[in-house]
Amino acid sequence: MTKGKHSNFLNTVEEVFQEAIDRGIWQLSLDNHRVTKNDSFDGRLIYLKNVAQPLINFGNCSYLGLETDPRLKQGAIEATQMFGIQVSSSRAYLSAGLYDELEEKFERIFAGNIVISPTTTLGHLSIMPTLIGESDLIILDQFVHASIYRAVITEKARGLKVELIRHNNLQQLEDLIKENQNKYEKIWYMIDGIYSMYGQTAPIKALVQLMERYGNFHLYVDDAHGMSWAGKHGRGYTLSQMELNSKMILTTSLGKAFGTCGGVLIFPEKRQAHRVRTIGYPMIFSGPLVPSILGASLVSADIMLSPEITIRQKELRARIDYGNQLIIEKNLPYVELSESPIFFICLGHPRIGYNISKRLINEGFYTNLAIFPAVPVKNTGLRLTFTLHTTKEDIKSLMDAVEYHLPLALADEGQSLEDIYKAFDINANLKTNDVVANKNDTPFHVQVYTSIHDLDKALWDTLFVGKGTFTSATLALLEQIFNSNSEQENNWVFRYYFVYDDHQRLVAASFFTLSLLKDDLFASERKSMEVEKIRLEKEPYFLTSLVFGMGSPLTEGEHLYIDKNQPYWEDAIKTLLEQISCDRTALSANSIILRDFREDDTTMQELFLGEGFIPVEVPDNHILNIENWSTEEEYLNSLPRRYRKQIRLNILAHRDKIKIEYPEHVSDEIIDKLYELYSNVKRKSYALNTFELPKKVIKAFTQDKNWDLLLVKINDKKNAQDKDRIIAFGISFKSGRLFCPLVIGVDYGYQDSYEPYRQVLFHTVLRAKQLGCKQVNLQFLASQEKRRLGAEAIPMKIYVESSDDFNQNKMSVI
């Protein structure tokens, strides 16, 4: 059974968070988040459980500091005294009069038509089904807030067409507009005014020009992080750059600089607001804001409408400018200087984030660590938010601490500023006195080879015979096959690695290949079918990426040799991964994949997580030990009764109607037939979606003495016209004690008559025994069939480090 991909993703996120917990960065358990122990809040200092000293809070999004304002508190008290704790009715039936008063004030602030929603997220869920039609196209920015993204995915179920473009890529946006302007009634580009991780701004003025240029182009903007600290009356960053346009919808949040809670939906037309308020499902059925929030919000709105807002905005702007000044003076790595109260200090490797976060806590600073999945794995950073609660002196102290501790954290973790610049693709001149990791002081060195012919083949085979399908002879064959082909996917680049300690003892070895893989390799079968349709109709290499992967797309087994008797072997693996990362960059690969590791190997998981690799659950592997029986009857008797019955019914019942052959040589005509059968299987298999192998793989394997060909032929007296017809085959590799079927083909027209797939599996097991093997690696998928043969299903993981997750995000909206 294929594991659920959504559950896999959640498991991955949980494991990454647990890594931070284990490193002492987050004082939490897996079922609760960080908890303060403040008796009261002043907005500046917080106290955390298990942390002795108070921390200056640089993780607060209430930018204007209004959440602790005595006037808002009094407004909340008075509203509670008037209306009680809640007005328990959905707004479709009844709402407190404070709603009307608040919406009227917001109409003055935004110069638009207002609907107050319980949250911004519920606001998106109200707007999209009511104002965006099935004849519309939605284009999402790559970094659009998760609340919009999730609402769009929800609406996609009713047939909405959705595209994803790279962050702030106006050329890609305009190309999509041109391509689709006559196909859809409206084209919506959905963005944030201020992006919540990096603090980057949307190119609002350029987008206005696109709205003027294309009649059906519309904007949908969530300006939650732009609220109050920018714009007239605090109407936000977006409306500080443009007027409310007739072709836009704007949403924002009261939970940031406004100082309270709830969502604000701003529409250019009254009918739009009326429609959302009247028939938007969350507006009808969800609970209202409580009176205390409404009362406090009214006071906050009065502040926005008063001259005081300008004073507060100027004070915060001074802090923002000061922060930018310090970042430049201290040569701290950044994506871009901030126009908003959100700052992002680039760290790169997650280890750096864990290290410096802990250091800053010890110095008395609370910061947000931006890690996967909020940002790509190697784009970890410190997300700092400035508010009117924090002073310029606080900001100076924080930046001094970052300047001091960043080089130390880098040195601790074997990284440098140059590594950060590479991770974020930043061009920067390094200071000559920067602290750089002592990478050259490592007691290990890596010997790299570009061909199996350049290394000691006897040593290689000593390490890997019996471990997988990649003896030196097979690798020589693969190097020959996957070279100088016309198809991109059939040209691989090989790298072989040996890691030695300072006494020239071999500690680790492996090989990697650079190859083009499908990004939906582990996606659901339904998703892969949708992607394949696009590849067939429009773009053959749609959603494909260059991957530098352990092993190769056509090898199976334990691809990493480690001498765990050697001390510091984990450091040797880290040295290996550093070399692989350098080679990945030189080869322009999008990601690195480490495969295949048992799910219960917690030691390797901890090591890989610490190096910034994300665990991904993959289908179970299936291993069948065949040492404890000698004959077919003994084999059958070793299986549970229900499995014996199924084998006799589904496989052995056809014994007199088929014959099994193991030819050493076959003609080109037979090769053509085998490739046809292989293609049958490949076209039906989407659970592991790979490129189809070239025909010369079949030919090369059938001609090589290390590979064993099994043919299933018809020998049925009642079907004389099909006598000797090949209805299935399997090509297996024999390496020491291991037997591994790698290529299978089936004629599905005979599936019900002779069970050709099951015949291949069963007779592969018997063939392995005949050849003196001890173990059969039946690989992934078809778990139920393989467990019936006695195989053990072993949960597996791969580990991925990607420089760009755009394709994975794009795939999610298809």
Question: pLDDT tens, 573-593?
Answer: 999 999 999 999 999 999 999
Mean pLDDT score across all residues of the chain: 89
Class of domain 68-304: alpha beta
For the chain, where do the domains classified as CATH 3.40.630.30 start and end?
445-618+799-812, 622-797
What single letter denotes the amino acid at residue 712? V
What are the tokens at 263? 């969502």
- Taking residues 66-74, what's their average pLDDT? 95
As a whole number of angstroms, the distance between CA 576 and CA 703 comes to 35
Flag whether pLDDT at 433 surpasses 50: no
Q: Is the pLDDT of residue 472 over 60?
A: yes
* Chain length of the chain: 814
Q: Which one-letter DSSP state was computed for residue 468?
A: B
Number of other residues whose CB lies within 10 A of the CB of residue 355: 23
Q: Which of 50, 49, 27 is nearest to 38 (CA)?
A: 49
Residue 8: both structure tokens together:
């896999």
Q: Where are the domain boundaries for CATH 3.90.1150.10 in the chain? A: 5-63+310-430
pLDDT of residue 33 exceeding 80, the answer is: no
How distant, in Å, are the alpha carbons of 257, 264, 635 from that of 224? 9, 9, 66
At 84, phi and psi to the nearest 5?
A: 85, -170
Confidence at residue 432, expressed as pLDDT on a 0 to 100 scale: 34
> Residues 774, 626: contact at Cβ < 8 Å?
yes
Q: For 445-618+799-812, give the CATH class.
A: alpha beta
Nearest alpha carbon to residue 499 among 569, 414, 587: 569
Rounded CA gap, 202 and 192, in Å? 7
pLDDT at residue 22 is higher than 70: no
- List of residues 6+ apart from 405 with CB closer than 8 A: 356, 359, 360, 363
Distance CA 238, CA 215 (A): 21
Q: What is the pLDDT of residue 465?
A: 87
DSSP codes of every residue in 198-266: T-PBP-HHHHHHHHHH-TTEEEEEE-GGGTTTSSGGG--SHHHHSPPPTTEEEEEETTSTTSS--EEEE
Which has more pLDDT, 278 or 286? 278
Of 236-250, 423-437, 515-529, which range is least confident?
A: 423-437
Cα separations (Å) of 510 from 55, 435, 565?
A: 46, 32, 17
CATH level 3 topology of 622-797: Aminopeptidase (3.40.630)
- State pLDDT tens for residues 732-781: 999 888 999 999 999 999 988 999 999 999 999 999 999 999 999 998 88
Residue 330 in this model has a pLDDT that exceeds 90: yes
Least confident of 129-138, 294-303, 368-377, 690-699: 368-377
Q: For residue 622, which of 466, 472, 790, 792 has the smallest C-alpha distance? A: 792
Q: Is the pLDDT at 25 greater than 90, yes or no?
A: no
628, burial (CB in 10 Å: exposed 0-12, middle 13-18, buried 19+): exposed
Fold of the domain spanning 5-63+310-430: Aspartate Aminotransferase, domain 1 (3.90.1150)
Angle at 464 between CA 461 and CA 470, to 5 degrees: 85
Given pLDDT bands bounded at 50, 70 and 90, which one contains residue 523?
confident
Residue 209: partners with Cβ closer than 8 Å, 6 or more residues away: none
Over residues 718-726, mean pLDDT: 91
Q: Which of 77-91, 395-409, 474-488 has the lowest mean pLDDT?
A: 77-91
Residue with tokens 């020959």: 480
Which residues does 48 contact at the CB level (< 8 Å), separation at least 6? Answer: 27, 34, 35, 36, 37, 55, 366
Q: What is the pLDDT of residue 589?
A: 94
**Spatial separation of the C-alpha atoms in residues 165 and 486, rounded to whole Å:** 30
d(CA 415, CA 437): 5
State the pLDDT at residue 85: 78
3-state class (DSSP) for residue 138: strand
Nearest to 316 by CA among 7, 61, 109, 637: 61
Least confident of 35-44, 179-188, 364-373, 541-550: 35-44
In sequence order, the 6+-apart residues with CB closer than 8 A to the CB of 222 are 120, 124, 144, 145, 147, 148, 190, 191, 192, 193, 251, 252
Query: Tokens representing 283?
Result: 């507006």
Residue 321's H or E segment, with its range, is helix 308-329
Q: Flag the least confident range among 5-19, 381-395, 626-640, 669-683.
A: 5-19
Q: 159-186 burial by CB neighbour count: b if 16+ within 10 A, else e?
A: ebbbbbbeebeeebbbebbeebeeebeb
209-229 per-position pLDDT tens digit: 999 999 999 999 999 999 999
CA distance 677 to 105: 71
Residue from 767, 700, 697, 782 nearest 734 by CA: 767
More confident call, 454 vs 282: 454
Structural contact between residues 808 and 518, judged by C-beta atoms closer than 8 angstroms = no
Helix (H, G, I), strand (E, B) or coil at 663: coil
Binned at pLDDT 50, 70 and 90, residue 378 comes out as: confident
Residues of the chain with CATH 3.40.640.10: 68-304
Chain-centre distance for alpha carbon 540: 23
**Residue 367 phi, psi dihedral angles, 5° rounding:** -130, 165
Q: For a pLDDT cut of 70, what percent of the chain falls above it?
A: 92
Task: Give the C-alpha separation, 596 to 658, whole Å.
Answer: 36
Q: Which residues pair with 383 in a beta bridge?
A: 344, 368
- Strand locations in 473-535, DSSP E? 493-500, 506-518
Kindly list the distances between the CA atom of residue 13 and the CA atoms of 16, 373, 530, in Å, as whole numbers in the listed order: 5, 7, 26
Q: Residue 278: its pLDDT value, please? A: 87
Least confident stretch, 111-115, 424-428, 714-718, 757-761? 424-428
